Homo-oligomer: A and B are copies of this chain.
């Protein structure tokens, strides 16, 4: 293997795969990045057994990437990334000598690294499905940003640590819940899916993937029995799926509502934020909301610290009033997921879920369960 490449090109590719470089020492070869130079392409692969990321640099486009000899080798991920990041030359030469020695050099710098034989690297196929689902990158990122925060962090219920992707016909429904709140995003696909799917993708993995998606790209979803392959631009990203049946969350959503409140999103967020200050030590930081005509009062108190009360003007759809308590943290996270100026908060009753929606984005529903305070 021998090639010369523009530093920026290689750095960009290494940054993309770097999230999959294993930092655990269980399988030493997985702390490396596999370089495969063949057919005018450099393929970089990294995997930690949970996710695999692969990206391709093509050589036929311009003179920024010059191949002298094909070949493959595994290079320690941490060092190659640091070297390419810290070199200041415009071009970098990389060459394999004596089979397992890697020479990385520029005019004044010369690095000799010990490599690992490519045959020791696990064989990861990253196969594509013919029945792929295609989404716009910005829609895919919205799905992740608007649902992932509501997934559980507790490994006791593994299925809740993922985001549920449910495809029926031309409808993609994404749910995430930690059983105290629910985030739901419903997208209409551009074309009918050939197959229906109901899978759970680890929330942490899908968040990592969404960070390396470029703008104005498409995202392809290739769904298999126990894994999913995302494809975007020149990146392939594979994640395992979580086994188990995702709970049916539809019965949580109330069909009627007692009263609906329209509030300015930012103002309401700030009020909830301030009212929760005194309860910030507590895990759930409970605040109580009370309406009285067109005045909303938010309160919280803590025996040791004190109490707080805020008022704001609101619009309601009828004369009903409500008194209800909830977690300020969950309410704030739900509010933050909207990009709208105004949100509608639907109340069904004191001990019924609170629904947050916005007329500016009908695809998103957030649900926060109330907390009984007496």
Q: Which residue of B lies closest to A274 (CB)?
A: B86
This chain's copy number in the assembly? 2
A112 contact set on B, CB distance < 8 A: 306-308
A109 to B277, alpha carbons, bound, how many Å? 12
Closest Cβ of chain B: how far from A302's Cβ, in Å? 9
Closest Cβ of chain B: how far from A97's Cβ, in Å? 12
Asked if B114 contacts A274 (CB within 8 A), the reply is no
Q: State the interface size on chain A (CB cutoff 8 A).
A: 31
Asked if A83 contacts B307 (CB within 8 A), the reply is no
Instruction: Specify which of B79, B110, B273, B278 is in contact with A79 (CB 8 Å cutoff).
Output: B278
A171 interfacial contact with B, CB 8 Å: no
A113 interfacial contact with B, CB 8 Å: yes
A110 contact set on B, CB distance < 8 A: 308-310
A308 to B273, alpha carbons, bound, how many Å? 53
A98 interfacial contact with B, CB 8 Å: no
**Quick one: CB contact mask for A90-125 with B, threshold 8 Å, 1 for yes?**
000000000001100000111111100000000000
Knowing A111-B306, A112-B306, A308-B109, the reply to whether A82 touches B280 (Cβ < 8 A) is yes
A109 to B271, alpha carbons, bound, how many Å? 9
**Quick one: CB contact mask for A181-213 with B, threshold 8 Å, 1 for yes?**
000000000000000000000000000000000
A86 to B310, alpha carbons, bound, how many Å? 13
A101 contact set on B, CB distance < 8 A: 306
Asked if A83 contacts B306 (CB within 8 A), the reply is no
Asked if A83 contacts B277 (CB within 8 A), the reply is yes
A226 interfacial contact with B, CB 8 Å: no
A280 to B109, alpha carbons, bound, how many Å? 17
A274 contact set on B, CB distance < 8 A: 83, 86-87, 109
Closest Cβ of chain B: how far from A308's Cβ, in Å? 5
Closest Cβ of chain B: how far from A148's Cβ, in Å? 26
A311 contact set on B, CB distance < 8 A: 108
A312 interfacial contact with B, CB 8 Å: yes
The 8 closest A-B pairs by CB, nearest first: A113-B306, A111-B308, A112-B306, A82-B277, A110-B309, A108-B311, A86-B274, A109-B310
